[in-house]
Structure 1
């Protein structure tokens, strides 16, 4: 699937709270309102909560008394919904369409890293390291999705260091791929540890399917395409396991992160 030229501003991400202590929740509401450019009263009304409940809570700094679980959940969901609506409107404007057919804004958890030579028992991060990004995604994309952070330049300019890869789990028996698709693949070492790297799918004129490394070229043969020219993944007998198909790549515009705009 070709990567589009949609732009977002990830430094404005509003993340769900991870600490629900009273003071931490007050700080989160303050930051959420600042990000959304609204007041706590407006947030309360959007959540269907009495403004006096939120305002009293916000003014009781240092108190151990918190909001009820239901009120807390309602307020957090309302803030995130407003944030998603705002990101969605900006992304729609970025692609020059008032109503992109078959697309919706998704919140994707980024929870793993990709680095050549980094063999490990697990590449998943601890819960406190996770973060989320909002991305405009085609509705036909299967869920769940998972985000991976590129921690090297193994794919060169296509997917440089710092790129966030959003992937959908590969279903070899049913997925149909096409030349140019990118995949997150794994291989194990003698100790049973796993390395995750990226590969691009290439199809030769005679229908041979290969996974290509930007550094060394074709390094895994996947078999032949079907008679109609479509690429199925069930024939894979290479050393790699196809784990995720990369649906979207959020690429930093500069290697040193001076720019705040990202291309998807």
Structure 2
């Protein structure tokens, strides 16, 4: 099956066939080297086997003599260690300096999910107990991870995940969505989604998602975009846009919402469910 390798456990990719033929051994060395992103020569050196022994075995398909059991054991042991090390690096999201210097590249970061967004839920603290918190992995563009984009460098400790516990922003973020948020922003661009807090008379706060829009007349709004209109939370007027601004996607805006509202986070990513079973999930208060 063409997709069988996708379903395998990561450590099964280096498993040797139970009764390999000489051709099977050659295929195994080449397959393992490709999977580990190394050459057969590098595999041989890691196994403390003469590279010429391995390369000759691969190249000479006419020979009838295989490799010794000791050599095979060394290759398997070396391949297992390389696989374990590289898989651990991938899981941890580590990238080399060369990978991070690629402006079109990315890093993988683990983000703590520790709160929920629920309209109408006013609380003194929105932080979940530690037993309810969990982590998700996301892709983070190098321009954000190392700086050089529109923001300062976004390190993993500067990110927070929140679960949407109801419908937000006209279904853009359905129940069960995990939004990845950052506090490191100096301005907004049209179309950005933000998490805002609203304080009531008792000092408790509500957290909701709003979308930044600018009207044709130059009014800036934080819109809930929720339906139906009769039940829509109030849109928040955030001041007038600069007169000279052209209303394009990448213009930069500084907002001035009413004092009871605070822009807490900008949403940089979201993990969304595509199964109705997520609608039944109950998240911590």
Question: TM-score scaled by structure 2?
Answer: 0.54
Question: Structure 1 residues 225 and 160, CA, compared in 2 at 3 Å: closer, same or farther?
Answer: same
Q: Give the distance between the partners of 2:202 and 2:233, measured in 1 at CA.
A: 26
Q: What is the DSSP-based 3-state SS (H/G/I as helix, E as strand, rest coil) of the residue aligned with 2:264?
A: strand
Q: Which runs of 5+ in 2 are unaligned?
A: 1-7, 14-83, 96-101, 145-153, 227-231, 280-285
The aligned residue for residue 201 of structure 1 is 212
Q: Which runs of 5+ in 1 are unaligned?
A: 1-33, 40-75, 89-98, 259-264
- Residue 82 of structure 1 and its aligned partner are, at CA, apart by 3.7
Q: What is the DSSP-based 3-state SS (H/G/I as helix, E as strand, rest coil) of the residue aligned with 2:172?
A: coil
Q: Give the distance between the partners of 1:161 and 1:100, measured in 2 at CA.
A: 34
Instruction: Tell me the matched-pair count.
Output: 177
Q: What is the DSSP-based 3-state SS (H/G/I as helix, E as strand, rest coil) of the residue aligned with 1:157?
A: coil
Matching of residues 75-90 of structure 1 within 5 Å: 80-84=88-92
- Residue 165 of structure 1 and its aligned partner are, at CA, apart by 0.4
Q: Is the counterpart of residue 122 in structure 1 residue 138 in structure 2?
A: no
- Residue 205 of structure 1 and its aligned partner are, at CA, apart by 1.7
Q: Is the counterpart of residue 223 in structure 1 residue 234 in structure 2?
A: no
Q: What is the DSSP-based 3-state SS (H/G/I as helix, E as strand, rest coil) of the residue aligned with 1:252?
A: coil
Q: What is the DSSP-based 3-state SS (H/G/I as helix, E as strand, rest coil) of the residue aligned with 1:253?
A: coil
Query: Which of 11, 30, 52 pairs up with 1:37?
Result: 11
The aligned residue for residue 139 of structure 2 is 136
Matching of residues 19-38 of structure 1 within 5 Å: 36-37=10-11
> What's the CA shift string for 1:141-199, capped at 9, x where partnerless?
3340100001111333210000000011154xxx2212211110001111111110111
Q: Give the distance between the partners of 1:217 and 1:121, measured in 2 at CA.
A: 21
Q: Report which of the two has the higher share of strand.
A: 1
Q: Give the distance between the partners of 1:179 and 1:217, measured in 2 at CA.
A: 20
The aligned residue for residue 162 of structure 2 is 148
The aligned residue for residue 282 of structure 2 is none
Kept in 1: contact 2:103–2:142 (CA 8 A): no
- Residue 237 of structure 1 and its aligned partner are, at CA, apart by 3.0
Q: Is the counterpart of residue 158 in structure 1 residue 172 in structure 2?
A: yes
Higher relative contact order (CA 8 A, sep 6+): 1
Q: Give the distance between the partners of 1:165 and 1:209, measured in 2 at CA.
A: 23
Which consecutive segments of 4 or more residues in structure 1 shift more than 4 A? 76-80
Kept in 2: contact 1:152–1:160 (CA 8 A): yes
> What's the CA shift string for 1:38-71, capped at 9, x where partnerless?
79xxxxxxxxxxxxxxxxxxxxxxxxxxxxxxxx
- Residue 206 of structure 1 and its aligned partner are, at CA, apart by 2.6
Q: What is the DSSP-based 3-state SS (H/G/I as helix, E as strand, rest coil) of the residue aligned with 2:277?
A: coil
Question: TM-score scaled by structure 1?
Answer: 0.58
Q: Give the distance between the partners of 1:137 and 1:118, measured in 2 at CA.
A: 30
Deviates most, 219-228 or 192-201: 219-228
Q: What is the DSSP-based 3-state SS (H/G/I as helix, E as strand, rest coil) of the residue aligned with 2:276?
A: coil
The aligned residue for residue 283 of structure 2 is none
> What's the CA shift string for 1:59-102, capped at 9, x where partnerless?
xxxxxxxxxxxxxxxxx99865342469x9xxxxxxxxxx8714
Q: Report which of the two has the higher share of helix.
A: 2
